[in-house]
Amino acid sequence: MLVLKLILLIPVLIVALDEDEIDDCKDGEGYRTCTPSFPVHPNKKVTVTVRYNPTLNKLQKIEVAEGGTTIITESLLDSGYPQLQVCKRPSGNHICLRYNRVNGRKGTDICYIISTSGNTKFSSARCDRMTSSGLIYIPAGSNLPK
């Protein structure tokens, strides 16, 4: 079963290896907001927020915002999609979120790629693991089968 779960992560993880990893993140009570380093105007700045229940140690949802306005919201609950790609075009640029959520022995992994396109395409990736200590960063390629 664990092998099957790792296989489900492979498509996002392999693509993530070619992406810049997102390391500009801020944590709050029950959330982590990360900002990819896309060179865009401040009113088009993209952020990704992963929300979780710190008491139950459960992922809740993932949100993408452009310029402070939420444009994508997807459930990360067990009843939500374990993997998904969704794109929106709020102000001329396409903004796409692709994620995989996998329940493993050490916690639930959420790996995502955020990309935007206009005159130039930018793309960044990040993986986090939901644990009893909250969200912890895991390198995008760290849980690929050897």
Domain boundaries, the chain: 2-137
Per-residue pLDDT, 19: 66
Span 76-93, pLDDT tens digits: 998 889 999 999 998 888
Could you write out the DSSP letters of every residue in 3-71? HHHHHHHHHHHHHHHTSEEP--EEEETTEEEE-------GGG-EEEEEEEETTTTEEEEEEEEETTEEE
* Distance linking the first and last C-alpha atoms of the chain: 17
Instruction: Say if residue 51's pLDDT is above 50.
Output: yes
Q: Which residue has the higher pLDDT, 41 or 32?
A: 32
Q: 2-25, pLDDT tens digit by residue?
A: 444 444 444 444 444 456 889 899
Q: What digits encode the pLDDT tens for the residues 87-145?
A: 999 888 889 999 999 988 888 999 999 998 866 688 999 999 999 989 999 986 654 33
Q: How far apart are CA 128 and CA 49, in angstroms?
A: 12
Give the pLDDT of residue 130: 95
**Between 5 and 70, whose confidence is greater?**
70
How far apart are the C-alpha atoms of 99 and 88, rounded to whole Å?
A: 15
CA distances from 63 to 28, 33, 55, 68, 107 (A): 15, 9, 20, 11, 21
Per-residue pLDDT, 114: 94
Residue 64: pLDDT over 90: yes
